[in-house]
């Protein structure tokens, strides 16, 4: 029967799209990850991943198994962290960073749960729209969404966040529904100006990426402003699924171009390199990875 390590390798392959990327993220050899994937498929008696020269794509069976095993692994990690906490009495102050919009929705509930378990710990949460310098801001750790450019930092991947296109029902009724990426050129698009190359949107299909130049009548630097503009019918938006989900649940927006969604982006916990981590920092990192990794991104 496959081991937990083999299941972890399978999840990493699905989330990262290749054996090489999965091996790099897990700190294992390419051969070890390949063997683990083959072992899981052999045990289940079904192909989970379709191999191609460009990218590994999950089969329908593989995607269904991924969703179930990802949540199970998150539960196992959470149980391990909880058990470890009982053996370690911790206390002291911590400074934690994170994105402004993401923080209240996800970091505050996670931090509150951690503080309930560790009454001797205090946490100063610093939220910002831009990436910050952990050393200059004296942060013990930070949660970051997107590309990590500073190779001197220690990193643990939490999850991969789905990115989606969406628009208000009223807008789609008036302007029509885009069917292929090229259709975006004739639509109004709500542009988030704080993003790099904000007027060039990536669309992905069958492993290929097409860059579409977009324009519209409204632009803003923050995700919440852009989402409200989309909900009010000012155009099509591009954002992370967790940002769009409230609009979708309320019926104020609908997904479009679901077959052409951009590649997901990573959410990670990062901290400065050093000889040893304080116990409170190590436990909070483990706690955040387990708790946030169980979210439906």
Rounded to 10 degrees, the C-alpha dihedral 286/287/293/297 comes to -140
Bigger pLDDT: 222 vs 206:
222
Quote the CA–CA distance of 282 and 118 in Å, as a whole number.
Answer: 13
Q: Assign 89 a pLDDT band (cuts: 50, 70, 90).
A: low
| pLDDT, mean of residues 173-188 | 95
pTM of the model: 0.65
Quote the CA–CA distance of 162 and 277 in Å, as a whole number.
Answer: 31
Contact present, 220 and 192 (Cβ < 8 Å): yes
Class in CATH terms, 4-83: mainly alpha
pLDDT at 53: 58
Q: Assign 81 a pLDDT band (cuts: 50, 70, 90).
A: low
pLDDT at 5: 87
Q: Assign 114 a pLDDT band (cuts: 50, 70, 90).
A: very high
- The tokens for 205 are 């299909």
pLDDT at 189: 97
pLDDT at 93: 93
Quote the CA–CA distance of 258 and 104 in Å, as a whole number.
Answer: 28
Angle at the Cα of 216 from the Cα atoms of 215 and 220, rounded to 5 degrees: 100
pLDDT at 274: 73
Looking at residue 156, what DSSP letter applies?
A: E
- What's domain 163-260's architecture? 3-Layer(aba) Sandwich (3.40)
Contact present, 191 and 263 (Cβ < 8 Å): no
- Which residue spans of the chain are classified as CATH 1.10.10.10? 4-83
Residue 52: pLDDT above 70? no
- Which residue spans of the chain are classified as CATH 3.40.190.290? 163-260
CB-neighbour burial class of residue 117 (10 A; exposed 0-12, middle 13-18, buried 19+): middle
Determine the angle formed by the axes of helices 4-16 and 30-44, rounding to 10 degrees. Answer: 110
CATH number for the 90-159+266-293 domain, one of 3.40.190.10, 3.40.50.300, 3.20.20.70, 1.10.132.50? 3.40.190.10
Average per-residue pLDDT in the chain?
A: 87
pLDDT at 150: 61
pLDDT at 55: 67
């Amino acid at each position: 029967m496959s081991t937990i390590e083999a299941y972890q390798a399978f999840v990493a392959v699905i989330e990262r799209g290749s054996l090489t990327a999965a091996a790099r993220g897990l700190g294992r050899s390419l051969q070890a990850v390949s063997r683990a994937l083959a072992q899981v498929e052999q045990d289940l008696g079904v192909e989970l991943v379709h191999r191609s020269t460009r990218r590994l794509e999950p089969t329908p069976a593989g995607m269904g198994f991924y969703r179930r095993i990802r949540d199970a692994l998150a539960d196992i990690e959470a149980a391990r962290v909880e058990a470890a906490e009982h053996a370690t009495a911790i206390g002291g102050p911590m400074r934690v960073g994170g994105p402004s919009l993401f923080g209240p929705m996800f970091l505050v509930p996670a931090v509150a749960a951690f503080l309930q378990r560790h009454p001797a710990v205090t946490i100063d949460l610093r939220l910002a729209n831009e990436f910050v310098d952990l050393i200059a801001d004296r942060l013990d750790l930070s949660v970051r969404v997107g590309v990590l450019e500073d190779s001197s930092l220690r990193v643990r991947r939490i999850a991969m966040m789905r990115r989606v296109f969406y628009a208000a029902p009223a807008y789609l009724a008036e302007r029509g529904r885009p069917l292929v990426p090229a259709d975006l050129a004739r639509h109004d698009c709500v542009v988030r100006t704080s993003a790099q190359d904000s007027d060039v949107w990536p669309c992905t299909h069958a492993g290929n990426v097409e860059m579409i130049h977009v324009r519209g009548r409204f632009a803003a630097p923050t995700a919440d402003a852009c989402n409200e503009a989309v909900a009010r019918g000012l155009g099509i938006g591009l954002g992370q699924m967790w940002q769009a989900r409230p609009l979708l649940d309320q019926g104020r927006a609908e997904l479009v171009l679901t077959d052409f969604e951009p590649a997901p982006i990573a959410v990670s916990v990062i901290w400065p390199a050093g000889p040893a981590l304080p116990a409170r920092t190590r436990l909070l990192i483990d706690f955040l990875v387990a708790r946030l990794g169980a979210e439906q991104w």
